[in-house]
Amino acid sequence: MKLRTVEEKLFQLLMIAATILIVTSLVVILVTVLVKGLPALRLSMITQIPKGGFYLGKEGGILNAILGSFYLAGGATILAILISLPIVIYFNVYASKGSVFVNLCRFSLDVLWGVPSIVFGAFGFTIMLFFGLRASLLGGIIAVALLILPVMSRAMDEVVKMVPRDLLNASYSLGATRLETSVKVVVRQALPGILTAVLIAFGRGIGDAASVIFTAGFTDAIPTSLMRPAATLPLAIFFQLGTPFPEVQERAYASALVLTIMILVISIVSRILTRSFTKHVIK
Amino acid sequence: MHLIRGLQDKLARISMLALALFAGLLVFLMAFGLFLRSRPILDSIPLMELLLSSSWHPLKGEFGLFPFLTGTVWVTGVSIVIAVPFSLLCAMYLAEYAPVSIREWVKPLVDLLAGIPSVVYGICGVLIIIPLIKDHLAPLFGSFSTGYSVLAGGVVLAVMVFPIIIHVCLEVFASVPYEVREASLALGATRWQTTKKVVLRKAMPGILAAFVLGLSRAFGETMAVLMVAGNVARVPRSLLDPAYPLPALIANNYGEMMSVPLYDSALLLASLLLLVVVLFFNVLSRLVLIRIERGIQ
Amino acid sequence: MEYKAHIRVRNLSVSYGTEQALKDVTVDLPEKKITAIIGPSGCGKTTLLKSFNRLIDAVDGIKVQGEVYLNGDNIYGPGIDVTHLRQKMGLLSQRPYPLPMSIYDNVAYGPRIHGIRKRRRLKEIVEHYLRESSLWDEVKDRLHTPASSLSVGQQQRLCLARGLAVEPEIILGDEPTSALDPTASQRIEEKFLQLKAKYTIVVVTHILRQAIRLADYVVFMYLGQLIEHGPARKVFENPQEELTRGYIKGVIV
């Protein structure tokens, strides 16, 4: 009888300890980035592009990488929306419920979700070889769009699935086609969830480095065309950390702080958006 | 009027179907694309030799992947050994014990952990784990290490897979009907006994699937590992030895691969290997999870 | 009393997979009258109703045999435009399902889809049908607030206005008052009694008293079969079938 209680207490303690450790690891990461990054952070870092000898510790900033990441993740997100939204509407409005094809597609997307980003990069690279493209913003956008496609489409799928069947029927019985119903009713009803899915995907796109390493290249200039290479923030961090100069490494910490803040802001904004876009949603 | 609308609807249906087909086949497309590009090296060197040879000298045309494969296995293994107990305990706490207020606080934090970019993990590994190993852990065992090692890679990866395992485990726990717990508690079992003998047993396949999903994420993770594992093309002998995992190899050599014959083919073969292994793990665990999901309905 | 048939059902059988929901139903529903479809739950009432505007098409593994004629055309025949057919029938479901948009846009949704773009015209339509469903006075000052902010009873009347705005010939009600409180139910019933001057109304209900209050014509279903149909007074006062008698007396629930 007593052993039982001891075991109960022991495991409860272990569980709480594990939970604290995991939360602590998040706190440690955030604090480390803040403590190491803040002293090295200068306004010039986010308003200037690298000047000559930047990676040797000279003047300049990482505006090229910040903008490059935004262009790249933004482009990829738009491309991924253009693919995900129709797919999800097909799954939930057009296809018959329990369709084998749809379930196979969902399965395939789930599996794709687990494929490492470096493999998306390598695949993007083979596509570019196929079309004779060089490392460019466009190449990066394609690789990242494919990378975030499963995240986005499955997250959207989960919310669109929740749209009540009777709401669709209400629209059908007014003589609306499935397309009209999808665009005007389904998307509006699921809008908060769709926005969240888009932001999650955007966050994943902006933070990923392995998929763009082959495909987007790197440059000190701000990209001016889809065919030009583009710098990205995660790669800028990686390269700065890789130099042997402490002052450049410190800039890497500062850049990591910028990236982390961006991710935090995206995460918070998605929470706020989710709340404020619910006014039309039918419960 | 409604003729045009009907036509629009049909056109939309066809294009949506085409996109769905594309998404559904993307995995195969990727495997096929990478396979085509790996053909040159597979044609000139037998696969077994590529996998089992330790000699990596691209300039001499030798592409032995064995050190990288073992590096990946070591790092992934360490990360799973660390991640499994902690994430399972944490998931059990959140699902079975924690008051709602704590659960509502911890869950978003775990999600946030999942959203942190891998370079940031890498930087934190360099700043915290590496000095810890170099200055404290290695001397403790009387050996020297730069800190860039299997252990460092494993620890960083473990933190990265926490959120995945916890997330999936929570879903699996939620699928165990509440009545089952009540039945056990009504028989006089303690909470832990109920969790251990009833919930865990019922959830076991799903928990294993969660582990395998975490494992496959660790297997393919690139940037963070690249930054802390040391990247020496030798088969690691101990936790404190450096390792050169497969993804790090691919990412590190993209610059020169086009100038050495067969180099690009070797790296794309390495990507294909990653893809195949990860697909195997993912298909397996997803099948288990689908079974569980069906069970609820 | 002779009725002019509006919907004619001929040998209609519907099955989901192996389960047969309707068995060989043949009946004529009169024009500009209220027809009540009654019967215990699971008897196929709703299936019969939804077969009129082909909403059952979307159900998995559904098989439909037989014919349903609307104005002489078989709606299950080839070359029938389903969206056009549905436009002719307004539907009120068990729970009101306003669309996720403003009150105004809910009513304007149908007309817009069917090609009306002029704002003045749309405004007139919205006002007209909101008045028609006695909702105008309650919402005229907040037409652009979300429909989800209305009470359930108001939402159901909004759904009625929305349905009427596509100018249907027929109103289908699938237990339209089951989610409403007694006052709100009464308003819907009153509305139906007024509307039957212009529309053919078909209501599924499991409330016998409601059927007695509303119906001119009654269809009694039991386990997917049509047991008895005829003018309301005749069916209620002098049922021919044993099953009907049992249901009306409350023996079969």
Q: What is the pLDDT of residues C149-181, one digit of tens each?
A: 999 999 999 999 999 999 999 999 999 998 889
| Residue A35 neighbours by CB under 8 Å, 6+ apart | none
Q: What is the predicted pLDDT for the residue at A242?
A: 87
pLDDT, averaged per 10 consecutive residues of chain A (283 residues), comes to: 83 95 95 93 85 76 91 96 96 88 94 94 91 90 96 94 91 91 92 92 93 87 88 92 88 94 91 75 73
Q: Are residues C79 and C145 in the same domain?
A: no
8 A C-beta contact, residue C220 and residue C229: yes
Among the partner residues A5, A23, A101, nearest to B109 by beta-carbon distance = A23
Report the pLDDT value the prediction gives residue B183, as an integer from 0 to 100: 86
Same domain, A26 and A65: no
Sign (positive/negative) of CA torsion C55, C57, C62, C63?
A: positive
Regarding whether A101 and A180 lie in a shared domain, the answer is yes
Specify the CATH number for the domain of residue C30: 3.40.50.300
For residue A281, is it within any domain? no
Mean pLDDT of chain B: 90
pLDDT level of residue B154 (50, 70, 90 thresholds): very high
Q: Which residue has the tokens 């389960």?
A: C19
Do C41 and C78 reside in the same domain of the chain?
A: yes
In chain B, what are the domain boundaries? 2-36, 49-296
| Six token digits for residue C21 | 């929901």
Model pLDDT, residue B186 = 85
Alpha-carbon distances of A256 from A29, A248, B25, C93, C147, rounded to whole Å: 11, 12, 36, 55, 46
* Among chain C residues, CA nearest to A176: C83
User: Are C28 and C139 members of one domain?
Assistant: no
Mean pLDDT on B62-78? 93
| Any domain includes A282 | no
Q: Which residues pair with C200 in a beta bridge?
A: C170
C132 and C243 both lie in a single domain? no
Question: Are A36 and A156 found together in one domain?
Answer: no
Kindly report the backbone phi and psi dihedral angles of residue B130, in degrees, each rounded to the nearest multiple of 5, phi listed first: -60, -55
Distances, alpha carbon C158 to alpha carbons A269, C47, C133, C137, C148, in Å: 34, 24, 7, 12, 11
Residue A198 lies in a domain: yes
Q: What single letter denotes the amino acid at residue B71?
A: G
Domains identified in chain C, total number:
2
Same domain, C69 and C49: yes
The tally of domains found in chain A comes to 2
| pLDDT at residue A195, as a whole number | 92
Per-residue pLDDT of C207-230, as tens digits, reads: 889 999 999 999 999 989 999 999
Same domain, A97 and A163: yes
* Separation CA B250–CA B72 (nearest Å): 12
The pLDDT, as a whole number, for residue B1 is 62
pLDDT attached to residue B126: 94
Segment C226-242, tens digit of pLDDT: 999 999 999 999 899 98
Q: Is residue A107 part of a domain?
A: yes
Of C60, C97, C102, the CB nearest to A166: C97
Residue C153's contacts (CB-CB under 8 Å, 6 or more residues apart) are: C180, C181, C183, C184, C187, C188
- Under the banding of pLDDT at 50, 70 and 90, the label for residue B296 is low
Q: What does the alpha-carbon distance between residue C150 and residue C112 come to, in Å, rounded to a whole number?
A: 22
CATH number of the domain residue A69 falls in: 1.10.3720.10
Least confident range of A45-59, B20-34, C62-76: A45-59
At residue B214's C-alpha, the angle toward residues B212 and B219, to 5°, is 90
Instruction: State whether C51 and C134 are in the same domain.
Output: no
Residues A190, A112 share a domain: yes
Q: Is C166's CB within 8 Å of A279's CB? A: no
Neighbours of chain B (3+ CB pairs under 8 A): A, C
* B258: exposed, middle or buried (Cβ count in 10 Å: 0-12, 13-18, 19+): exposed
Domain end (from C167, C193, C218): C167
Q: Supply C147's token pair.
A: 């429909």
C-alpha C15: how far from its chain's center? 21
- Residue B11: φ, ψ to 5°: -60, -45
Residues paired with A273 in a beta bridge: none
pLDDT in tens, B168-188: 999 999 988 888 888 888 888
What's the mean pLDDT in B218-235?
Answer: 91
Look at residue B262 in the predicted model and tell me its pLDDT. Answer: 87
Going by C-alpha positions, the residue among B234, B222, B59 that lies closest to residue B153 is B222
Tokens representing residue B252 in the block: 């590190």
Q: Is residue C142 part of a domain?
A: yes
> Are C68 and C182 part of one and the same domain?
yes
The token duo for B244 is 């050169």
The answer, yes or no, to whether residue C18 has pLDDT greater than 90, is no
pLDDT attached to residue B269: 94
Domain B49-296 is classified in which CATH homologous superfamily? MetI-like (1.10.3720.10)
Residue A182 and residue A51 share a domain = yes
Residue B297 confidence (pLDDT) above 70: no
Domain boundary among C167, C188, C221: C167
Shared domain for C220 and C240, answered yes or no, is yes
Q: Which chains touch C (3 or more CB pairs under 8 A)?
A: A, B
Residues 6+ apart with CB under 8 A from B192: A7, A8, A11, A12
What's the whole-number average pLDDT of chain C?
90
Do the Cβ atoms of C113 and A176 come within 8 Å? Answer: yes
Q: Is the CA virtual torsion C41, A166, A153, A182 positive or negative?
A: positive
Find the domain containing C105 and state its range.
98-167
Q: What pLDDT, on a 0 to 100 scale, did the predictor assign at position A49?
A: 85
First to last CA, chain B: 43
Average pLDDT for residues C31-40, to the nearest whole number? 92
**Inter-chain touch A280–C101, beta carbons under 8 Å:** yes
Q: Are C244 and C228 in contact (CB under 8 A)?
A: yes
Q: Which domain holds residue A191?
A: 47-276
User: Looking at the partner chain, which of A86, A121, A177 has a beta carbon nearest the beta carbon of B5?
Assistant: A177
Q: Are residues C245 and C174 in the same domain?
A: yes
Q: Position C3: which residue type?
A: Y
Whether residue C1 has pLDDT greater than 60 = no
| Distance, CA of C62 to CA of C68 (rounded, Å) | 16
A236 lies in the same domain as A251 = yes
Spatial separation of the C-alpha atoms in residues B51 and A246, rounded to whole Å = 39
Burial A96-108 (b: 16+ CB within 10 A, else e): eeeeeebeebbbb
Looking at the structure, do residues A16 and A81 belong to the same domain, yes or no? no
Query: Using an 8 Å Cβ cutoff, are A211 and A117 in contact?
Result: yes
Domain assignment of residue C226, yes or no: yes
Chain B residues with CB under 8 Å of C83 CB are 2, 5-6
Q: How far apart are the C-alpha atoms of C103 and C165, rounded to whole Å? A: 13
Compute the distance between CA of residue B245 and CA of residue B232 in angstroms, rounded to an integer: 9
